[in-house]
Amino acid sequence: MRIDTTLAMRAALVQAAGVLVPGLATGLTLSHAFFEDYGWLVGPPAWMIAAAVTVSVLRLPFWRGLLGAVVAGIPSGIATLIGVHWLGAALAIIIFALWCGGLAERRTANPTARAA
């Protein structure tokens, strides 16, 4: 599989912004205790919403892109469990970006198959 590095970089930037902006907004307005108690509940949906925005902005196959977000979220969840949340988030962004870069080959092979 070939990876479009330009697309991967764009995916990383869009996903990072999609995670960072709401993360900072909620981090500044909600207590640390909220995240300790409910972060596991609000984090994954926030990640998936950011991924949905990323694949839509980059015009990637929607469901395949979201599958990549799920796959990338697994190591992030493990990192969170062992206490290195932000390292896990950075790793997830990299994995998701590489996944998106790999989707470029399919996008150029069949540009009308956006929903596939």
CA distance linking residue 66 with residue 115, whole number of Å: 11
Per-residue pLDDT, 30? 87
What is the total residue count of the chain?
116
Which residue shows structure tokens 């996008």?
107
Which residue shows structure tokens 């869009």?
14
pTM: 0.85
Using DSSP's 3-state secondary structure scheme, residue 58 falls into: coil
> Would you say residue 111 has pLDDT above 90?
no
Per-residue pLDDT, 116? 47
Q: State residue 18 phi and psi, 5-degree precision.
A: -65, -25
Per-residue pLDDT, 67? 98
pLDDT tens digits, 8-35: 999 999 999 999 998 888 889 988 888 8
pLDDT tens digits, 42-76: 889 999 999 999 999 999 999 999 999 999 999 99
